[in-house]
């Protein structure tokens, strides 16, 4: 009985200690790993978010950009971090849904290595071309691809990213040979499109809006079911005949597996409160983003469904599974 009682006392102390640690959280700055380049629309949104949350949180939140390899570099860094609440990560359709079905021997397990925190938002994506191309509609782009595809380069986020899957789908459907050129984020893709270093891109509208307004990038179609209020004259994928390639581009937050539930709850509450704030929602919508905050349980359920949809997109694009090599 003494041994059992002592054991229970130890366990009780540990439980109370864990609770005390959660109550004192955060005691130092919190790092957010963002697996995409600075200047991209997601990076801009997260920096705006932490500027609002930091003062209420009582500690600074620090963005650490770890772009490259379709989000794999950032996801690996997050999966290997200490599960103490001081490293969290931005995750998206590639890291959690597409990569596990596109790569063999990934350096992380999307289902086992993370604690879902919350979904954040959906992106309005836009198929766009450099204003120096002759294509003014998706039909004209297809004609150009069928006759001069050797002169067309498409900016992507690397093997397995949604833009690259779209290139493969176009080449399969159109019999073209558009080249996929990898970049580290939407910002660099927008710059390359503006300079006509690449001719086609498909990214979150927020990445391209400034260049569209300046006339250096021409939007051809948007991914949303309805036309964007920011581009009311631009057709949807469905209207443009691209509806067979339908995919949701989204972002959320996760933590390394084993992060205490109380800490996950604290982080969730901060981001959900902000992403439900009318003023911040207006900020998001002006950047062609639809806020979608959720509970950890809702985000987990969403991830399960999204992986099913990702498998369908991969099949349509006829993308074979490859071995990931660092």
| Cβ neighbourhood burial of 325 (10 Å; 0-12, 13-18, 19+) | exposed
Judge whether residue 1 has pLDDT over 50: no
From the CB of residue 293, how many other CB atoms can be counted at a distance below 10 Å?
Answer: 21
Among candidate residues 101, 59, 94, 54, the one with its CA nearest the CA of residue 74:
94
Report the pLDDT averaged over residues 65-85: 95
**Could you count the other beta carbons within 10 Å of the beta carbon of residue 222?**
24
Specify the pLDDT at position 171. Answer: 93
Q: What is the pLDDT of residues 169-228, one digit of tens each?
A: 899 889 999 999 999 888 899 999 999 999 999 999 989 999 999 999 999 999 888 899
pLDDT band for position 147 (cuts 50, 70, 90): very high
Give the predicted TM-score (pTM) of the model.
0.83
In sequence order, what are the beta bridge partners of 163?
none
For tokens 């379709």, name the residue: 70
Catalogue all structural domains in the chain, each as residue range(s) with its CATH number.
29-123+248-323 (3.40.190.150), 125-222 (3.40.190.10)
> Nearest 5°: phi and psi at 119?
-75, 155
Per-residue pLDDT band for 319 (boundaries 50, 70, 90) equals confident
């Amino acid at each position: 009985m003494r041994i059992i009682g002592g054991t229970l006392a130890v366990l009780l102390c540990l439980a109370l200690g864990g609770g005390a640690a959660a109550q004192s959280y955060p005691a130092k700055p919190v790092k957010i790993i963002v697996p995409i380049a600075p200047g991209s629309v997601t990076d801009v949104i997260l920096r705006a978010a932490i500027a609002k949350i930091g003062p209420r949180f009582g500690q600074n939140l620090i963005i650490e950009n770890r772009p490259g390899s379709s989000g794999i570099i950032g996801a690996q860094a997050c999966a290997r971090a200490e599960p103490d609440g001081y490293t969290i990560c931005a995750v998206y359709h590639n890291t959690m849904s597409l990569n596990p079905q596109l790569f063999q021997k990934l350096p992380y397990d999307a289902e086992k290595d993370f604690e879902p925190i919350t979904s954040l938002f959906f992106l309005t994506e836009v198929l766009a071309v450099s204003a120096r191309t002759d294509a003014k509609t998706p039909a004209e782009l297809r004609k150009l691809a069928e006759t001069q595809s050797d002169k067309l380069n498409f900016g992507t986020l690397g093997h397995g990213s949604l833009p690259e899957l779209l290139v493969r789908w176009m080449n399969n459907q159109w019999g073209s040979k558009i080249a996929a050129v990898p970049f580290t984020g939407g910002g660099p893709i927008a710059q390359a499109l503006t300079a006509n270093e690449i001719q086609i891109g498909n990214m979150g509208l927020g990445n391209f809006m400034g260049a569209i307004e300046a006339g250096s990038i021409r939007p051809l179609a948007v991914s949303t079911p309805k036309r964007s209020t920011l581009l009311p004259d631009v057709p949807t994928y469905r209207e443009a005949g691209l509806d067979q390639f339908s995919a949701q581009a989204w972002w959320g937050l996760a933590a390394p597996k084993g992060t205490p539930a109380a800490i996950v709850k604290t982080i969730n509450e901060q981001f959900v409160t902000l992403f439900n704030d009318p003023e911040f929602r207006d900020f998001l919508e002006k950047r062609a983003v639809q806020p979608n905050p959720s509970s950890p349980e809702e985000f987990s359920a969403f991830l399960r469904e999204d992986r099913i949809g990702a498998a369908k997109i991969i099949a349509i694009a006829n993308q074979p599974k490859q071995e990931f090599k660092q």
